[in-house]
Amino acid sequence: MNFHICHPGDALRPFVKQFYFWEDDSCGLIQLPQHLFTLGDQYMVFILEGEATIKPADHAAFTLPKHSVTGHFTCACELQVRGPLKMVVVQLNAYGCYRLLDMDVRSFTNYYRNLDMQESPVWTLLGTKLQQAKTPQEITSLLNDTYMEVLRCFSPALQQVDKMADYLLANQGNVSLHELAKVFRVSKPTLDRLFNRIVGIPPQLFARMVRFKAALRSLQQMDIPQWQISTTAHYNQAMFIQDHLLFNGEMPSGHNTAAQATITRMTAAEMLPVAVAS
């Protein structure tokens, strides 16, 4: 198995977090690399070989087309891939999809959109070029060039929602809707409407995701069981259990292995510019 993690160009960083290139010659079901998908972000997926199926807890499973963008996953999900596999995954931040594709993000929460059905042929062309690329360096160059061109051609207004999302992240989700509306001088209905249209989910839910990920990171750093989370002014054990049931589909436990991981359980972590496992 070859799994590469590469940084996008500096100009893309406000919207694009990482590029992933995953290649595996194994036949049948393949275990996911840890951190491939994480709660609160959106992803563009280019399947060059193989098959990927997602099963959200709230509705039937669906198989991703060759070129797709996934919406936010707000419930426990399972991702299964079948090899031989070759795929490129682009991790976007909460508002990156809207900025790069100018799509109604709300319409595919817990689902996907087929990029080959979009009016612009840019993503289909990118998928064809990625199919011909041989190395992670070639793939990174293709992705950087394509996304930079898209940024130059499309410019939907983010209307401060990017700053709102970044504010929630900086405060680890410990921000009330009232505080957020006051800081950015908008009414609560306007805040909710803008956030839903550009991010795809309500600000309260996004803050809840951010808070949950921050709690998991703290537990991982302290190396203690999930059920021993300490009570804080913003997050207590009952809230953590409730969120764990929603985002992971089960009660928290003392041990979680990569084999048991779902999409939402794979929390963001510090990564090297390029990591290869073989």
In this prediction the pTM is 0.85
pLDDT at 261: 45
pLDDT at 264: 52
The answer to whether 192 and 178 have CB atoms below 8 angstroms apart is no
At residue 108, φ and ψ (nearest 5 deg) are -135, 35
Question: Could you write out the DSSP letters of every residue in 134-165?
Answer: -SHHHHHHHHHHHHHHHHHH-----TTHHHHH
Query: How remote is the C-alpha of 83 from its chain's centroid?
Result: 22
Torsion, CA 261, CA 263, CA 266, CA 269, rounded to 10: 160
* E strands present in the chain: 2-6, 16-30, 42-56, 62-63, 67-70, 77-92, 112-114
Class of residue 91 by CB neighbours under 10 A (exposed 0-12, middle 13-18, buried 19+): buried
Alpha carbon distance 143, 130 (integer Å): 9
pLDDT at 255: 44
pLDDT at 34: 61
pLDDT at 35: 63
Identify the segments of the chain with pLDDT beneath 70.
34-35, 220-235, 253-278
